[in-house]
Structure 1
Amino acid sequence: MNTDQAFTLLKEAGITDNIETFKRWLREGRIKATGFTVDDKALMRFMKEQTKLDKDEVIRQLKIKIKAKDEEIKGIEELHASSTRILIQQRDKLYNEIGLLQIERNHLKKETINLLKENIELRDELIALKEKFHKGEKDGDATHSTSMLSDFRQKLSISKKADEKEIFTAFKELLKIAHPDHGGNEKIFHYIKQEYDQFRNWTNR
């Protein structure tokens, strides 16, 4: 076959579609030809060799890709293992923190209960003190009142059982007797008047 037919055959076989490459193969003798005539058998052998070389190259490229994928998968697996370890560590740390928080919460709960008990006890003590204080005030007032009445009775020289009304009556009689208009002494009148005013103010408290 001629060179044009040989080049067309190579193109159809997918070996090359570059005319310059075809001419270089002719010059190098890789495709045997005499003038414009190509040796059919030699061309077939060349095409088989090229096809075999192409297959070997495809296999080599596939192996390279497979190796790259294997390395990528290995990297992903290592990353996954590392991530898993980190997640486990974080999980364990979280569990520890939860445990500590649980202990702290229980401790705070106990402290809260104790504080509530203390507050109740303090409140009860305060109530008792208030009651005691009010009782003391009442007792003191009663004692003071008894003492004041006794003092006025003694000054007026009247019965120890005399009530406030009887004490008022005794004061008025003394004031009437001691009044200067009735021949009484002015100084004594003022003294009795002061005692009377003091008793009146005390009864109006």
Structure 2
Amino acid sequence: MNTDQAFNLLMDAGVPENNSIQTVRRWLREGKIKYDGNSNRKAEYIIDDTDYVIELLKDAGVADSIGIQTVTHWLREGKIKYDGTRNRNTGYMIDETVSKLLTNNRTNQNKDDIIHQLKLKIKAQDEHIEVIEELHEAASKILILQRDKLNQELIFLQNEKNRLKNETIDLLKENIELRDELIKLKDKRFTENICGNGNFHPTTESEDYRRKLGLSKKASNKELLAGYKDLLKIAHPDRGGNAKTFQYIKTDYDTFRNSIKD
């Protein structure tokens, strides 16, 4: 192998240009290749020893897998040929599978490799899809549980809303009933304590104010005034009282108050 052939081989194997130049120089010093100064020589090359090429590539730092692929590529292009009769001991560690690979039918082997690689890719994709499907199924179950929980909470809130609404209606009814009952009690008190015969009439000083107010005969004038003021508050129209009743009580109150001043 001459220097040009060695340099082209290293470049085809993916070795950087600077590294290829340094390696070619080292091989020249070590006597592994020879220099051919014929500039008219074609750049293509024919090498009859595949093991020797692999040894050189490995010596140049090329990985075994890349070396095998490169040699296989050169074999298909006719730039190198395999001679299985040679038995050389160069001191390099060569994987036994290399020789087996190169002795098989190159076309069929290449197809088998492609099919094998495709099967591996399909298997990896199937496993990836299976993992994604499992994740999707788990996520779907979680979302379904969350949806059911939210629906239950909505039902609970709706029931609570209805319950509060019913309680509000009941309270309003109770409030109305209490108000009606209070009105009845007020009317009854007016009837019993003030209007013994069901009617209010202006009174004179001689009438018994204590009897009208339902107070004791010993009640003081101050207690009588306080009783009248309480009745006026209850009977006031602004508080739901009757205007006519309020006026009658007011007349009695004014008459009694004036009689005290006199």
| Structure 2 length-normalised TM | 0.40
Higher relative contact order (Cα pairs below 8 Å, separated by 6+ residues): 2
Bigger helix share: 1
| Structure 1 length-normalised TM | 0.48
